[in-house]
C-alpha cells in the first residue's frame, strides 16, 4: 500500500533523520514503518479528526481510526454509531481524499450513515478535529453502485485539493450473504 499525505511526509522525515545521523535505513532500533504507526500527527500538520456532522442528514457522530481488512476493503468501526476515518490516508482538510466509512444500519436500527444516500449536491459536511478546529466540505455528488463496481480509483486517487469521501452500504439487503448489494459514496470538496 502506498503511503500518502501526512504519513508519507513523516516516513520521509524519519528516513532523512536516519540518513543525517549516519544510520543506514533499516538499521535503526525500530523500523521507520513501526515509528510511523505510533505517531499521531506530524509537526505543524492538522490534528486528528474527532467528529463528523452533516446537518441536512441529522448526522452528528464521533470518529475513530479505521483500517483495511485482508482484501483491502475499509472496515468501519464495530459500533454502528461511530464513523471510521481511514487513518493511513489524508486527514480531512489535507490535500487528497480523506475517506470515512460507517454503517447504514445495524440489527434493524439506523446506523451512523443512514441518511447519506439522501444527501443533495451542496449539502455541508463538517469535520471537527481534536484541537477544536473544523473543516467544512460541500457535497459534489452521491453515487450508489453495486459493490462489484466500487469506484476505487475515484475514491482513493490523488486530488489537487482537500476532499472527502463518505462510504456506506445501500440498495437491497441480501439475507443469504448478510450484506447489502450496493455501496453509497458521497464526494465532497473543502470550502475555504
**What is the per-residue pLDDT across 144-159, written as a single tens digit (0 to 9) for each?**
999 999 999 999 999 9
Tell me the β-bridge partners of 83.
63
pLDDT tens per residue, range 99-158:
999 999 998 899 999 999 999 999 999 999 999 999 999 999 999 999 999 999 999 999
CATH number at residue 100: 2.40.260.10
Shared domain check, 91 and 64: yes
Shared domain check, 132 and 58: yes
Shared domain check, 54 and 37: no
**Total domains, the chain:** 2
SS (H, E, C) the chain: CCCCHHHHHHHHHHHHHHHHCCCCCCCCCCCHHHHHHHCCCCCCCCCCEEEEEEHHHCEEEEEEEECECCCCCECCCCCCCCEEEECCCCCECECEEEEEECCCEECCEECCCCCHHHCCCCCEEEEEECCCCEEEEEEEEEEEEEHHHCCHHHHHCCCCCEEEEEEEEEEEEECCCCEEEEEEEEEEEECC
Shared domain check, 93 and 33: no
Shared domain check, 96 and 183: yes
Domain boundary among 14, 30, 45: 45
Rounded to an integer, what distance in angstroms lies between the CA atom of residue 45 and that of residue 4? Answer: 14
Q: Which three cell numbers stand for residue 34?
A: 513501526
Indicate the pairing of strand 179-190 with strand 124-129: unpaired
Shared domain check, 57 and 13: no
Shared domain check, 54 and 10: no
Query: What is the value of pTM for the model shown?
Result: 0.76
Rounded to an integer, what distance in angstroms lies between the CA atom of residue 20 and that of residue 36? Answer: 18
Shared domain check, 125 and 81: yes
Model confidence at 192, in pLDDT bands (50, 70, 90)? confident
Shared domain check, 136 and 41: no
Identify the CA nearest to 163 among candidates 131, 139, 128. Answer: 139
- Alpha carbons within 13 A on the beta-carbon side of 35: 18
Shared domain check, 127 and 69: yes
* Cβ proximity of 61 and 55 under 8 Å: no
Shared domain check, 99 and 137: yes
Shared domain check, 80 and 90: yes
Residue 107 domain boundaries: 47-190
Amino acid at each position: 500500500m502506498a503511503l500518502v499525505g501526512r504519513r508519507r511526509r513523516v516516513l520521509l522525515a524519519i528516513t532523512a533523520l536516519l540518513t543525517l545521523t549516519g544510520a543506514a535505513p533499516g538499521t535503526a532500533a525500530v523500523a521507520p514503518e513501526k515509528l510511523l504507526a505510533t505517531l499521531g500527527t506530524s509537526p505543524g500538520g492538522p490534528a486528528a479528526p474527532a467528529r463528523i456532522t452533516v446537518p441536512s442528514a441529522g448526522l452528528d457522530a464521533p470518529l475513530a481510526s479505521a483500517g483495511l481488512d485482508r482484501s483491502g476493503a475499509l472496515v468501519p468501526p464495530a459500533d454502528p454509531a461511530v464513523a471510521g476515518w481511514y487513518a493511513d490516508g489524508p486527514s480531512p482538510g489535507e490535500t487528497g481524499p480523506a475517506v470515512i466509512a460507517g454503517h447504514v444500519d445495524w440489527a434493524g436500527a439506523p446506523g451512523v450513515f443512514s441518511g447519506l444516500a439522501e444527501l443533495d449536491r451542496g449539502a455541508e459536511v463538517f469535520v471537527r478535529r481534536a484541537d477544536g478546529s473544523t473543516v467544512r466540505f460541500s457535497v459534489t455528488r452521491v453515487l450508489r453502485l453495486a459493490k462489484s463496481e466500487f469506484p476505487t480509483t475515484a475514491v482513493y486517487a490523488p486530488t489537487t485539493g482537500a476532499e472527502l469521501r463518505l462510504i456506506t452500504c445501500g440498495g437491497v439487503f441480501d439475507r443469504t450473504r448478510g450484506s447489502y448489494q450496493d455501496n453509497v459514496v458521497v464526494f465532497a470538496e473543502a470550502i475555504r
